[in-house]
């Protein structure tokens, strides 16, 4: 396979495309104590910044708050560009264990990021790029590469001003190119990972303080996202931890203008008054971000609270609002919201047969893709998370899948749980249980078919048995040259997939060519494709030019819904544009459990969703 189909993630390659921007400022800048490089053509004050910083503890939903607020401004016709700033030294999120950091979300250009980028893409319905994600490893890598080249002209390189200056340069570059078609953004939304007081993100907070000062008044709005405790033994909300967390942020020189209060129940006015008094923030800028049935209710809640108008006033952006665009966007979201609250007449159970099943964040995009389908198909979907490493026999699988209406076998790395996944695929194939395989799930479907239909009991992947006599799954040719470079050894990012006319995949996609996101190192061994096809395993999605299999399926006469993809379809599902392969799975599960679901109502919903998705794609 030609190397143009790979997006290798090494430090140098990661930076050459996007981070040579530091060479844009002149040598004279290096002689100044005031080090604040600016891209050529940058207009100070043209782009505004909204900065969201956490307090008390992490994992409270900074990405949800930031993306929801960004959506409201985007609905008004403003160009928004989010960025997540992580404090870890990894160049990207690709080698992180899902148990530690949730799923790895792959962007169009192949950068492996954390799950918050998925939240931004889904709520904003906007594809992001490597410029929307930065780590401490990237920042330090930029600076150390330049120091080795002698770019600092003998200067001692320090956290301030050089590290903070590099952060500001990243943000200004995004401000210039983060809008539609690479144009300028009206507002950059900055999410700082972790919480105020963490050692690893301190330089980000300092850089943002400097940025606000340099950009001038009405240029930057700081948001503190805090946590309101409600101990069951006390029976009331307590604000002390929130007050102390905000105080810690103010000690960094940052005065928040907006406070988001994360809580289980709506935050009381008494608690808001206490927080406002100790943080110098008026009540109309304190937002109760309490638990809701869906995160998709938060944008409307923010709008009702007037938070979008407050941001426009703080940043002097009222003159950029497009009222017509806002009305159109609100109507579209209102239609979606009405589906959210509509009563669900049918319920199905979908099993997710993974190896990280104990942590739902490991499969966050799958969770959301299923939710989108349920909204469009007017169905309540219960996800049953099952650890395949505990499944050792057909009897085990039959027991755990009792009452399940369809299964998803997701991606993963390493041998643990693999045999359990193969048993699940066999059960789905032989019992006509609706099945969707993703990445590793696609490969497991090939191996299961080879073992149980072709009769090759030792068929395997070289990932799990390098010496197997029947390597139906083997390493991508170009990746073999990169052995040992863990962060650079996969096919990553968006690639074209040619869909075969008349196939089940074409029925779902309503298209002959689609673009989906990949994250894999192994593929179907070409020498076995004919044997698999002749035995009934149909490859309905392929690389447009090379013998790389990307979608497989069984015929309708063999199975109502047996489909798998080498790519990750969950990454491209959006609230108003459900992903076609997931829609096919859920529709098949509905028909299996509720035969009457094949009536006009379900067909109508299916066609409407398919048309919306096809038009958007």
What are the tokens at 60?
């409270």
**Distance of alpha carbon 511 from alpha carbon 611, whole angstroms:** 11
Q: Catalytic residues, which ones?
A: 439, 568, 570
157: left (phi over 0), alpha (psi -120 to 50) or beta: beta
- In sequence order, what are the beta bridge partners of 408? 352, 436
Name every residue whose Cβ is closer than 8 Å to that of residue 559 and which is 6 or more positions away in sequence. Answer: 429, 432, 435
CA-angle at 287, arms to 285 and 292, nearest 5°: 165
Over the Cα atoms of the chain, what is R_g?
25
Instruction: Tell me how long the chain is.
Output: 617
Contact present, 86 and 134 (Cβ < 8 Å)? yes
- Residues facing 473 on adjacent strands: 461, 524
How many other CB atoms are found less than 10 A from the CB of residue 485? 12
Within a 13 Å sphere around the CA of 416, how many CA atoms are in the beta-carbon half? 8
- In eight-state DSSP terms, residue 574 is B
- CA–CA–CA angle 251, 257, 263 (5° rounding): 90
Helix (H), strand (E) at residue 552:
strand 549-553
Q: Spell out the long-range contacts of 529-538 with Cβ–Cβ below 8 A and sequence spacing 24 or more.
A: 531/454, 532/446, 532/449, 532/450, 532/454, 532/472, 535/449, 535/453, 535/454, 536/453, 537/445, 537/446, 537/449, 537/453, 538/503
Q: Which two tokens stand for residue 19?
A: 């981070």
CA–chain centroid gap for 93, Å, is: 12
Question: What 3-state class would DSSP assign to 48?
Answer: strand
Q: What is the 3-state secondary structure (H, E, C) of 292-311?
A: CCCHHHHHHHHHHCCHHHHH
The phi, psi pair for 581, rounded to 5°, reads -65, -40
| Tokens 């799923």 sit on residue | 103
With H, G, I as helix, E, B as strand and everything else as coil, classify residue 241.
helix
Q: CA–CA separation, 57 vs 130, rounded Å?
A: 27
Separation between Cα atoms, residue 167 and residue 49, nearest integer Å: 14
Tokens standing for residue 217: 């008044």
* Peptide bond before residue 161 is cis, with ω within 30 degrees of 0: yes
In whole angstroms, give the CA distance from residue 379 to residue 343. Answer: 9
Report d(CA 300, CA 476) in Å as an integer.
46
CA distance 2 to 348: 43
Q: Which residue has the tokens 């490089």?
A: 37
What does the alpha-carbon distance between residue 547 and residue 543 come to, in Å, rounded to a whole number? 7
- Give the single-character DSSP code of 516: E
Would you give the DSSP letter of residue 103?
P
Element spanning 613, H or E? helix 600-616
């Amino acid at each position: 396979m030609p190397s143009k189909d790979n997006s290798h993630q090494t430090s140098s390659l990661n930076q050459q495309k996007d981070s040579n921007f530091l060479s844009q400022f002149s040598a004279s800048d290096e002689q100044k104590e005031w080090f604040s490089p600016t891209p050529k053509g940058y207009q100070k004050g043209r782009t505004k910044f909204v900065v969201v910083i956490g307090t008390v503890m992490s994992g409270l939903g900074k990405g949800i708050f930031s993306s929801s607020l960004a959506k409201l401004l985007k609905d008004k016709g403003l160009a928004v560009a989010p960025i997540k700033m992580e404090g870890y030294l990894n160049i990207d999120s690709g080698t992180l264990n899902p148990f530690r950091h949730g799923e790895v979300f792959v962007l169009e250009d192949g950068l492996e990021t954390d799950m918050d980028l998925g939240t931004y893409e889904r709520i904003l319905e906007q594809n992001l790029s490597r410029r929307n994600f930065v780590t401490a490893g990237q920042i330090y890598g930029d600076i150390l590469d330049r120091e080795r080249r002698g770019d600092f002209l003998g200067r001692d390189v320090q956290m301030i001003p050089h590290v903070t200056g590099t952060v500001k340069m990243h943000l200004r570059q995004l401000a210039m190119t983060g809008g539609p078609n690479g144009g300028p953004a009206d507002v950059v939304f900055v999410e700082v990972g972790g919480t105020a007081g963490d050692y690893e993100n301190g330089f980000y907070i300092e850089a943002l303080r400097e940025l606000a000062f340099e950009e001038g008044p009405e240029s930057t709005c700081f948001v503190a996202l805090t946590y309101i405790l409600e101990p069951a033994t006390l029976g009331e909300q307590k604000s002390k931890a929130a007050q102390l967390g905000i105080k810690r942020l103010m000690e960094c020189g940052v005065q928040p203008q907006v406070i988001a209060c994360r809580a289980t129940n709506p935050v009381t006015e008494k608690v808001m008054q206490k927080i406002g008094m100790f943080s110098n923030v008026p009540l109309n800028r304190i937002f109760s971000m309490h638990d809701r049935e869906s995160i998709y209710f938060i944008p409307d809640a923010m709008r009702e609270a007037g938070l979008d108008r407050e941001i426009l006033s703080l940043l002097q952006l009222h003159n950029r609002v497009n009222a017509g665009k806002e009305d159109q966007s609100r109507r579209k979201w209102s239609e979606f919201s009405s589906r959210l609250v509509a009563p669900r007449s049918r319920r199905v159970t979908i099993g997710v047969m993974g190896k990280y099943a104990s942590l739902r964040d490991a499969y966050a995009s799958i969770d959301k893709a299923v939710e989108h389908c349920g909204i469009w198909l007017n169905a309540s979907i219960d996800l049953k998370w099952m650890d395949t490493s505990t499944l050792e026999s057909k009897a085990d699988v039959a027991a755990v899948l009792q009452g399940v209406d369809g299964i998803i076998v997701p991606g993963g790395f390493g041998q643990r749980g693999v045999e359990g996944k193969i048993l699940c695929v066999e059960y789905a194939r032989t019992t006509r249980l609706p099945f969707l395989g993703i990445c590793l799930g696609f490969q497991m479907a090939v191996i299961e078919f080879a073992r149980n239909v072709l009769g090759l009991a030792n068929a395997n992947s070289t990932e799990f048995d390098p010496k197997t006599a029947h390597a139906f799954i083997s390493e991508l040719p170009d990746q073999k040259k990169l052995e040992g470079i863990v962060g650079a050894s996969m096919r990553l990012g968006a690639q074209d997939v040619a869909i075969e006319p008349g196939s089940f995949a074409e029925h779902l996609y309503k298209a002959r060519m689609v673009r989906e996101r990949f994250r894999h190192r192994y593929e179907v061994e070409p020498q076995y494709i004919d044997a698999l096809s002749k035995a009934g395993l149909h490859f309905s999605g392929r690389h447009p030019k090379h013998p790389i299999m990307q979608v497989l399926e069984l015929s309708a006469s063999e199975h109502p819904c047996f489909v798998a993809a080498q790519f990750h379809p969950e990454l491209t599902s959006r609230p108003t544009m459900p992903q076609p392969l997931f829609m096919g799975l859920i529709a098949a599960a509905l028909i299996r459990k509720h035969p009457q679901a094949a009536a006009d109502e379900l067909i109508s919903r299916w066609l409407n969703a398919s048309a919306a998705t096809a038009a958007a794609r």
